[in-house]
Chains A and B, each alone.
Chain A
Amino acid sequence: MSEQFYNILIVGVGGQGVLLASEIISQVAMNAGMDVKKSEIHGMSQRGGVVTSHVRIGKKVYSPTIQQGEVDFLMGFEKAEALRFVGWMKKTGTVVVSHTTLVPAIVTSSKEFHYPEDAIADLKNKAHNVIDVEADKIAGELGNPRLVNTILIGVLANLLPFEEKLWVDVIKSLVKEKFVAVNLQAFARGREFIWGGGSPPPRRN
């Protein structure tokens, strides 16, 4: 495991929980004995702008940010945002994306800009491994649209070599107490997610 290096780029829109998700992943990696760096850009972006977080896991991590073209896992909490950052991926990388659609005011109020017709299809045209999850729908079933991030973490957990218990413990410690139960449910839903069509992406462990 120590030879492995994981570059994870998490993208979404302000308010979707990008930062919490990346913190959970980083904490799990640290508890598993890996070196980890997590770098985020917020500030003005907390007002509905794009939020990105780089998580780098390995034996020894130098740069806090990933080089463009070196992302192993792209986690998209919003499908157009995943598409925006697909150019950061390695060709062999995996995209885990929610069907969530958030159309900003700048698109609705002008003719200049368009939201992509079918962002998921565009992603599949560009990247080899795309796991698309109706996380927005599942989150709705669980009664809280904010659970998209934890559901996707559950999916990602299938692709990383860390034990279940590490994930569960970290979620318990980082999520506000009254939301722990439902977040664990969301995580479990992500864990059991089966991707339809084609072969599953290669497991890294």
Chain B
Amino acid sequence: MKQLLSGNEAVARGAYEAGVKMAVGYPGTPSTEILETMAERHRSVYSQWSPNEKVAFEVGIGASIGGARTLVTMKHVGLNVAADPLMTFAYTGVNGGFVFVSADDPEMHSSQNEQDNRIFARFANIPFLEPADSQESKDMLVAAYEISERFDTPVMLRMTTRISHTMGIVEVIEPLQPQERKFVKNPEKYVMIPSNAKVRHVVVAQRLIDLAKYSEQTPFNYIESNGSKVGIISGGVAYQYAKEVAPQFDYYKIGFGYPLPLEGIRQFVAAHDITLVVEELEPVYEDQIKAAGVKVEGKKYFGALGELSPSRVAKGLKEAGLIDKVVVPEITQEDLFPRPPVLCPGCPHRGAFMALKKLGVAVTGDIGCYTLGVLKPLNALDTCICMGASIGNAIGMEKVQGSATGTVAVIGDSTFFHSGITGLLDAVYNQSNVTVIILDNRATAMTGGQEHPGTGKTLMGEPVGRTDIQELVRALGVKNFEEVDAYDFDATLSCVKRQMATPGPSVILTSRPCVLMPKRIMDEPYQIDLELCNGCSACFRISCPAIAASTETNERGHAKAIIDETLCTGCTLCAQICPTEAILLKSQFAKA
């Protein structure tokens, strides 16, 4: 049967068809929908969110050693978090097949960097597969389990945003029944004390030699002959772009990307006048091929930054003298205002940012919706490095600048559970005077509202006890703890001031949930009395999408404000800061 599936949905379908028993991960764009699809459509598989990628990876390792086929999912930067278990699991090898997805984000549509994780597979000495569409995402995942079990290795399925979020037609089949594997005690294989690890490293080296042989004959690496004198070596979405603009050339399509089929490539290159490597981001293939003494070119023409596109590939081919025409747009582009994403109307983070902005302190930020607080006109953040970094950043800054200047770390609840806890532990241990605001909106909101230990529900929808952040924080040794309603501007402001003045680490917990999740919160909307509004623009600067400029202006020609009542959630923040009290509940207008 044919279905229209995104790359991520196809991976989930593949896991189901491959007889996976356990699927685990941490949400992160563009990988999130894989596990969401598991929980929604393939409920016979046990699926869970873990607090972070390292834990997810470790849970997955346990399941594999226990004998089950296992899927672990994450975005590219998530693999940095899980790198520790990965590097050693590559030594022990698997029992039940183990495949993890690294969903890379070329162009950084929703990420803090665009690292190419194909390099990670090479670093860890493990194979990776690189699908070029939804059908391959499914097929390669299923095959990856066979490779994993046959060669006793974890396997990486490397997706990118374009593959994860592109829908294509997929032929689906009934699930396989993989042979049952039992847990067998084998400390020489699974306990990596130095004496065992030294033995395993030799096994890893041999495995790479075996995998290289496999790479030469796997059907995922194949040649498409069109009788051309020009050869293209390509994989992933880059292959699709190249086929789009130059279907007439010969192709060596790479699906099994490490180790490369260097012997086959050598012959392919020898049979062509010129061979180019077309790949997105880093010259991973190109460097290895060149290192093998085979003459190819690539990055010179296509560049190593950002996403490729048919246009970029066409330009590169033209520069290389291989095609003579590229599409030139006939209509000139319009230079328009930017439309960056913004915090939702009524977002509970807004109040905390308004208070921090007013105090003018240094604010170390983290990964989540609240990272949007850095944009104009809120301008409320000074750093954003990686998940959980805000608290560590704040400690460092406070240690060198002194507590008098004031440093505040903001971190979301999901991010706090992910890797903020250890940062806070550091603050307690090393007696830092940081103030940490845990923006508890009770969801992993950035990625669409996934559950986490603080929400009281699992990925599969089971109710569970929720981790109490206050108790957790106190158990870590934090003495100063306060909860505040971030919709109450004055209370938030004075709370931050107070906690910044107290010595030692302090934690402020905000109490308002995300207005979108789990269900949309709408209270009575506010409206603006244009007679009272003096066009001071204070309410514009809190960046609420419900507030816009009206057509009326004040005597100095500045626009007065109006509120879109279908968007306003009634959070009250704008009303609290309006100096003329022009912002009133809608019902108050009816009376007036």
The docked-state distance in angstroms from the alpha carbon of A104 to that of B545 is 6
The docked-state distance in angstroms from the alpha carbon of A78 to that of B439 is 33
Is the beta-carbon distance between A41 and B166 smaller than 8 angstroms? no
**Beyond A84-B336, A106-B340, A109-B537, is A40–B165 a contact (Cβ under 8 Å)?**
yes
Is the beta-carbon distance between B336 and A43 smaller than 8 angstroms? no
Answer whether residue B41 sits at the interface, using C-beta atoms and an 8 A cutoff: no
Is the beta-carbon distance between B331 and A45 smaller than 8 angstroms? no
Interface bracket on B:
35 or more
Is the beta-carbon distance between B341 and A62 smaller than 8 angstroms? no
Greatest chain B CB density within 10 A among A36, A66, A68, A126 is at A68
**Beyond A69-B327, A105-B545, is A37–B168 a contact (Cβ under 8 Å)?**
yes
Partner of B329, one of A42, A61, A68, A81: A68
Taking CB atoms and an 8 Å cut-off, the chain A residues in 40-92 that contact chain B are 40-50, 61-70, 80-81, 83-84, 86-91
Interface size on A, residues (CB 8 A): 58
Is the beta-carbon distance between B4 and A27 smaller than 8 angstroms? yes
Is the beta-carbon distance between B169 and A87 smaller than 8 angstroms? no
Residues of A within 8 A of B544 (CB): 105
**Beyond A23-B167, A47-B342, A106-B376, is A86–B337 a contact (Cβ under 8 Å)?**
no
The docked-state distance in angstroms from the alpha carbon of A109 to that of B337 is 12
Partner of A62, one of B2, B244, B336, B541: B244
Nearest-neighbour CB distance to chain A for B291, whole angstroms, equals 30
**Beyond A105-B545, A108-B549, is A122–B343 a contact (Cβ under 8 Å)?**
no
Answer whether residue A180 sits at the interface, using C-beta atoms and an 8 A cutoff: no
The docked-state distance in angstroms from the alpha carbon of A119 to that of B549 is 18
Answer whether residue B511 sits at the interface, using C-beta atoms and an 8 A cutoff: no
Partner of B110, one of A43, A65, A126: A43
Q: Nearest B residue to A114 by beta-carbon distance?
A: B337
Residues of A within 8 A of B109 (CB): 41, 43-45
Residues of A within 8 A of B241 (CB): 62-63
Nearest-neighbour CB distance to chain A for B280, whole angstroms, equals 12
Is the beta-carbon distance between B336 and A80 smaller than 8 angstroms? yes
Nearest-neighbour CB distance to chain B for A198, whole angstroms, equals 18
The docked-state distance in angstroms from the alpha carbon of A127 to that of B339 is 23
Answer whether residue A26 sits at the interface, using C-beta atoms and an 8 A cutoff: yes
Nearest-neighbour CB distance to chain A for B398, whole angstroms, equals 29
Is the beta-carbon distance between B341 and A14 smaller than 8 angstroms? yes
Beyond A14-B341, A107-B337, A109-B377, 11 additional contacts (C-beta under 8 Å) are: A36-B167, A37-B168, A47-B344, A62-B244, A64-B166, A67-B311, A69-B330, A86-B331, A89-B330, A104-B339, A106-B337
B residues whose Cβ falls under 8 Å from a Cβ of A: 2, 4, 29-30, 109-110, 133, 161-162, 165-169, 237, 240-241, 243-245, 247, 309-311, 314, 327-334, 336-344, 369, 372, 375-377, 446-448, 537, 540-541, 543-545, 547-549, 559, 561, 566
